Amino acid sequence: MIEATANPTTATTSAQQKSAAPSSDVSGLTSDFETFLKMLTAQARYQDPLEPIDSTEFSAQLAQFSMVEQQVLTNDNLSALLSGRSGDKMSAMANWVGMEARAVTPMQFDGQPISLASNPDRTADQAYLVVSDPAGNEVQRLNIPKTAEVMDWAGVDENGSPLPHGVYNFSVESYSNGEIIQTKPAEVYARIAEAQLQNGDIVLILEGGQAISSSSVTALREPG
């Protein structure tokens, strides 16, 4: 009779405890590893001795617990990996600043000579450097050596007067027997004033304000 009197209270308490146990939405606990651990421990501690947890159900919960633990460890490892890569890129960015990069890009002329890598076609017997403004209008055409050596564009006209300050584009035309055989952009050297990390890529800001991707750089040199 005593047991019959105690059972309703025990059963009520057991039902309340089960309602607080992690029996509803285990998948939602993947975002809160500590909460899942505490709730699973509480379920095992406060189970009803007269109605113990089914071994199959408990095994499934333990398996779910193991999956959650592995997911948390995987996320931690990925975060550490990404953090390390970010740190490596920051170190690489510091090494770019102050160097002179060679790339195909328009260049700001401020009265100082601009270094160019013309690289005319090897079979050419004549080559020209063509300078144009941002609208594509030809500003100057100069006969240049048929070699791949770096040259300086002084930015002056045929009378020696400086051309207006501004942004200019450079290309090289190669000729053979009086016929054009190649036209391609000339690469310019420019000092890197700043390096930025944009969407995982390193973007270089040149002294003239132009922005280029680090992947477009074909050579680096110390400022001369």
More confident residue, 153 or 58: 153
152, 115 contact by CB (below 8 A): yes
Q: Flag whether pLDDT at 21 surpasses 70.
A: no
Instruction: Indicate the range of 10-19, 81-90, 100-109, 186-195 predicted with least confidence.
Output: 10-19
pLDDT for the residue numbered 216: 93
Q: What is the pLDDT of residues 23-36, one digit of tens each?
A: 444 444 445 667 76
Q: What is the mean pLDDT of residues 8-37?
A: 48
204, 214 contact by CB (below 8 A): yes
Q: What is the mean pLDDT of residues 185-195?
A: 94
Task: Tell me phi and psi for residue 79, to 5 degrees.
Answer: -65, -40
- Burial annotation 78-89 (CB, 10 A radius, 16+ → b, else e): eeeeeeeeeeeb
How many other C-beta atoms can be found within 10 angstroms of the C-beta atom of residue 185?
15
Q: In the chain, what are the domain boundaries?
A: 2-93, 104-189
How many other C-beta atoms can be found within 10 angstroms of the C-beta atom of residue 125?
13
73, 177 contact by CB (below 8 A): no
221, 103 contact by CB (below 8 A): no
Of 81, 72, 82, whose CA–CA distance to 37 is shortest?
72
Phi-psi region of 111 (alpha: psi -120 to 50; beta: other; left: phi over 0): left
- Give the rounded percent of residues in the chain with a pLDDT score beyond 70: 64
CATH of region 104-189: 2.60.40.4070
